[in-house]
Chains A and B, each alone.
Chain A
Amino acid sequence: MLFNSFDFLFFLPTVFILYWFVCNRNLKYQNLLLLISSYIFYGYWDWRFLGLILLSTIVDYFVGLKIFNNAKKNTAKKWLILSIFFNLGLLGFFKYFNFFIDSWVDLMTGMGFPITYTWTLNIILPVGISFYTFQTMSYSLDIYNKKLKPTKDFFGFAAFVSFFPQLVAGPIERASNLLPQILHKRTFNYDQAIIGMRLILWGLFKKIVVADSLAPIVNDIFAHYDQYNGGILLLGAICFGFQIYGDFSGYSDIAIGVAKLFGIHLMTNFNFPYFSRNIGEFWRRWHISLSTWFRDYLYIPLGGSKVSIPIALRNVFIIFLVSGFWHGANWTFIAWGFYHAALFIPSFLNKKNRKYITTNTDHFFPDYKELINIITTFLLVTIGWVFFRADNISIAIDIIKKIILNFDFSIYHHPENRRMIDYIFAVSIMLTVEYILHKKHKIITYFNKYQYLRYSLYASLVFAIFIASSEHKDVSFIYFQF
């Protein structure tokens, strides 16, 4: 089920009413309701893959208990390895099997040993598999690292694994954050619910008005990259940058907002990444739940930065390459990870990667140096998006070559004959609002003070959503494929 569908418009209020008015007296009933709702939510896409979630849930539930109950570190480690093997095996089979076979065939053919018969399978990628397998792995890892005690409440644990707001596209929650909230009685919090509603509205705006509206432009430019000059290809890459941000951060906002309606707090996934002043800051603000997951469960166990420089560099490359590979079974994602590692290394070596930890809220408008840093970081990230979006690496390189060598300012016509100015307007609204929130400007207090001003803004957003949504109804989220 999509957040931006009519089905969800009926689904959410129904679950909300049942949750707070029918099941509110008993935590077990509330969790059971969450579990059933989550399975309905997921089953709407393809009920057959519910078996995978259930299997992953059962395995990690028992592994968690086994790890905790084994005093011997070695035995506990074996159980942990079982959990990791199972989850990565699931991911490997459904997501990477064909990629490995194809790459093997390409390698052998390249070495002069052509393979005519291949064993690729016609596998459907289960939606959200990369998200929930990582979430369940974090449970076993946290128990192993003594950060968490396992639960004996199977339904509570199953509700944690499949919690519908963040099941298919994150944020990837740590068991240590989400599970205790699931296992303890929730109380309705008015302020949190209002914040949740605002996040849902803003997320829908970013998804429908920005991301879905830009999709035809991006699809057209990337599909006909050979017919366009560098200027238009750069426009395509910039539009994709805003599309993927609107799509993914929009999803995260809606997920966090919906969770708040159920009294659950999910972690922040995006923190205004396009206002970052260097790549290090960008990665602290983009897909935070994934980057911190890799940091805590991969980078730090490998030694992090507190090792010799060559090992630290290796660790940086590993974390970026794995992060790229997590997104999909294609060399383009690995190249994207490599590209970001290459951008990150210089500031890492100069120890400037943690230069911008906090947002500068002293002044609203950036000074020229800050502005140049923001624009440079944005452009570098935008070039990286070409690898992310292109069908293969050679196309990505062709596009980047054209952007650099064949740059020209020319007019682009929308593939559906629509007015381009509308999209510039939509993106400008998104950036302005996010910039105000990013800088915590005092204008926010005016909105909090005057109800009708606030309501008018919300209603204008709803109107924009209605207008944009009638062009492209029920468009899926990009990150569902990861």
Chain B
Amino acid sequence: MKYFILKTLGFTIFLLLFLEIIIRILHFYNDVPLRMIDDYGNEKWVPFQEGYFYTGTKKETVSKYRINNFGFNSTLNYSFNHSDTTKIGLFGDSYIEGFNQDVDQSIGIKIMNKIPIICYEFGFSGYDFASIIHLIETNESKFKVLDRIYIYLNNSDFNRSTYTISNHQKERTNTLISTIYRNFKFLMFLNHNGYIKTIKEKFRFHSKNIDKPNYKIHNINQLINNSHIDWSKVIFIIDSSEIDSLIIQKLNSLAKVLDITNIFSKSKYKTNFGYDKHWNNHGRSLISDFIIRNENNYIQY
């Protein structure tokens, strides 16, 4: 028995080493950029990082990213200059961030290639409505130049009534923890493929209210009551097939709402990767065309 346990432990150590080496050799991990929390408490990427991101468990897609001077994935460095050119801001989570696609094929670039405007992209994995409101409010002076603010939201973005930086967010921006994490590629592999999340969820308490529309509407009310955003500039982008109608009504009462459901459901081609629910190149083209059609209502050529 003693020998069996020792041998099992020995094999476990060998296994960890083997997996670490093979994951490094085959590059089955992501060069996820370093995170930071800025002076206003916004979580962002540390500026000026470049690398490759893979999508799919078997590296089905490899894409290039570039973090700009403002901490977001974009080929543009943001200057927020006052000029006559129309400027729009695109806010959202990983769907807007677009690590799954080369950065020079981002939604913003696709828009700018077709119409003469400047598109600032503020997508960040894990951003919800509270994070976006906080980002806009704390950068009010810079974002004044934006003519319109597009916010992409989905059903899971309304689970908070106030914005706070969680311990988890603090931990992952901590240099020491981050360095340790980055040096264990097997750990990065486990994290990227959802194993760590699965284990965490086993021990996490879930609020029973989290899926109730009224709970989400309460959160939206709390967030907008405490904000000073100019809602006339805001345009929400949603998929009505995935958001409760009561929430859509609430968003409609606040600002203009654009629904992408039809353009996606009528598409002849797949709009996501299949093995990953994020939009593929075609999906991004549909979104950018959708925004362009809306912008054409405002722009005078």
Q: Which of A74-82, A369-377, A399-407, A458-466 contacts B (4 or more CB under 8 A)?
A: A458-466
User: Which of A123-131, A142-150, A410-418 participates in binding chain B?
Assistant: A410-418
Kindly identify which residue among A6, A193, A197, A467 contacts B58, using a CB–CB cutoff of 8 Å. Answer: A467
Task: State whether B275 touches A417 (Cβ < 8 A).
Answer: yes
CB atoms of A463 and B195 under 8 A apart:
no
* In contact, A466 and B189 (Cβ under 8 angstroms): yes
Which residues in A have their C-beta under 8 angstroms from that of B190?
466
* A47 interfacial by beta-carbon distance below 8 Å: no
Determine chain B's interface SS by DSSP, over half rule: helix
Given contacts A470-B194, A470-B195, contact A190 B4 (CB under 8 A): yes
A466 touches which one: B14, B19, B56, B274 (CB < 8 A)?
Answer: B19
A418 with B56, Cβ < 8 A, contacts A194-B4, A470-B193, A471-B275 known = yes
Is B4 a contact of A471 with CB atoms below 8 Å?
no
Q: Tell me, rounded to whole Å, the shortest Cβ–Cβ distance linking B2 to chain A.
A: 10
Chain B residues 180-235 with CB under 8 Å of chain A are 189-190, 193-195, 198-199, 202
Q: Does B11 contact A (CB under 8 A)?
A: yes
Alpha-carbon separation in the docked complex, A418 to B58 (Å): 9
Interface status of B84 (Cβ within 8 A of chain A): no
Report A92 CB to chain B, min CB distance, Å: 38
Q: Mark B133-166, 1 if CB is under 8 A from A, else 0.
A: 0000000000000000000000000000000000
Q: CA separation between A458 and B17, bound complex, in Å?
A: 13
A419-B274 contact, Cβ under 8 Å, with A188-B4, A462-B15: no
Q: Which residues of chain B (1-36) have a CB below 8 Å from chain A?
A: 1, 3-4, 7-8, 11, 14-15, 18-19, 22-23, 28
- Which chain A residues lie closer than 8 Å to B270 at the CB level? 417
Question: Nearest residue in A to B28 (C-beta to C-beta)?
Answer: A467
A219 to B57, CA, bound (A): 20
Chain A residues with CB under 8 A of B19 = 459, 462-463, 466
Q: How many A-B residue pairs have CB under 8 A?
A: 69
* A244-294 with Cβ < 8 A to chain B: none
Most buried by B among A193, A194, A462, A463: A463
Q: B60 to A418, Cβ gap below 8 A? A: yes
Report which of B7, B189, B273, B274 forms a contact with A415, defined as CB distance below 8 A.
B274
> From residue B258, how far is it (CB to closest CB) to chain A in Å?
27
* Minimal Cβ-Cβ distance residue in B for A455: B14
Q: Is the CB of A417 within 8 A of B4?
A: no
Task: Establish whether residues A6 and B11, one from each chain, have CB atoms under 8 Å apart when the complex forms.
Answer: no
Instruction: List B contacts of A186 (CB < 8 A).
Output: none
A459 touches B14 (CB 8 A): yes
How far is it, in angstroms, between the C-alpha of A458 and the C-alpha of B16 when the chains are bound?
12
Closest Cβ of chain B to A101, distance in Å, is 37
A246 to B58, CA, bound (A): 21
Chain B residues closer than 8 Å to A194, beta-carbon distance: 4, 7
Residue of B nearest to A17 (CB): B5
Shortest beta-carbon distance from A195 to chain B in Å: 12
Bound-state CA distance A416–B1 (Å) is: 45
Interface size range of chain B in the complex: 20 to 34
Given A417-B274, A455-B11, A470-B194, the answer on whether A193 and B18 have CB atoms closer than 8 Å is no
A456, B18: Cβ atoms under 8 Å?
yes
Interface membership of A46, Cβ < 8 A = no
Chain A residues near B18: list those with CB within 8 A: 455-456, 459-460, 463
Q: How far is the CB of B59 from chain A (nearest CB, A)?
A: 10
Number of interface residues of A (CB under 8 A): 28
Digit string of A169-192 for contact with B (CB within 8 Å is 1, else 0)?
A: 000000000000000000010100
Residues of B within 8 A of A415 (CB): 274
Which of B1, B3, B202 interacts with A6 by CB under 8 Å? B202
Residue of B nearest to A471 (CB): B57
Interface members, chain B 46-81 (any A CB < 8 Å): 56-58, 60
Q: Does A439 contact B (CB under 8 A)?
A: no
Report the separation of the CA atoms of residues A466 and B26 in the bound assembly, to the nearest whole angstrom.
14
Contact B193 A466 (CB under 8 A): yes
Most A C-beta atoms less than 10 A away, residue of B1, B19, B190: B1
Contact between B198 and A473 (Cβ–Cβ < 8 Å)? yes
Chain B residues whose CB sits within 8 angstroms of the CB of A414 once the complex forms: 274
Query: What is the CB-to-nearest-CB distance from B297 to chain A, in angstroms, rounded to a whole number?
Result: 35
Query: Do residues A418 and B198 form an inter-chain contact, with CB atoms below 8 A?
Result: no
Cα–Cα, bound, A262→B84 (Å): 77
Give min CB distance, B21 to chain A, whole Å.
Answer: 10
CA distance A467 to B58 in the complex (A): 7
User: Which of B11, B22, B199 has most chain A Cβ within 10 Å?
Assistant: B11
Alpha-carbon distance between A361 and B292 when the two chains are bound, in angstroms: 70
Tell me, yes or no, whether A62 is within 8 Å of chain B by CB: no
| Docked complex: B224-272 residues within 8 A CB-CB of A | 270
Query: Which residues in B have their C-beta under 8 angstroms from that of A467?
Result: 28, 57-58, 193
CA separation between A197 and B7, bound complex, in Å? 12
Q: Is the CB of A417 within 8 A of B273?
A: yes
Find the A residue at minimum CB distance from B186: A466
- CB B5 to nearest CB in A, in angstroms, measures 9
Q: Which of B1, B3, B4, B58 is within 8 Å of A419, CB to CB?
A: B58
For B56, the closest partner residue in chain A by CB is A418
If A6-B198, A456-B18, A463-B19 touch, whether A419 touches B60 (CB-CB below 8 Å) is yes
Task: Give the distance in Å from the alpha carbon of A460 to the alpha carbon of B19 in the complex.
Answer: 8
Provide the bound-state CA to CA distance between A417 and B272, in Å. 9
Query: A419 CA to B199 CA in the complex, in Å?
Result: 28
Please report A residues at the B interface, Cβ cutoff 8 Å.
Answer: 6-7, 20, 188, 190, 193-194, 197, 414-419, 422, 455-456, 458-460, 462-463, 466-468, 470-471, 473
Binding site for A on B (CB under 8 A): 1, 3-4, 7-8, 11, 14-15, 18-19, 22-23, 28, 56-58, 60, 189-190, 193-195, 198-199, 202, 270, 273-275
Given A188-B4, A419-B58; 18 other pairs, CB 8 A cutoff: A6-B198, A6-B202, A194-B7, A414-B274, A415-B274, A417-B273, A418-B58, A418-B60, A418-B274, A458-B11, A459-B14, A459-B15, A459-B19, A460-B22, A462-B15, A463-B22, A467-B28, A467-B58
Closest 8 A-B residue pairs measured CB to CB? A417-B274, A470-B193, A459-B18, A416-B274, A470-B57, A416-B275, A188-B1, A459-B15
21 A-B pairs (CB sep. < 8 Å): A20-B1, A190-B1, A190-B3, A190-B4, A417-B273, A418-B274, A419-B58, A422-B58, A455-B11, A455-B15, A455-B18, A456-B18, A458-B15, A459-B14, A462-B15, A462-B19, A466-B19, A466-B190, A468-B57, A470-B193, A473-B198
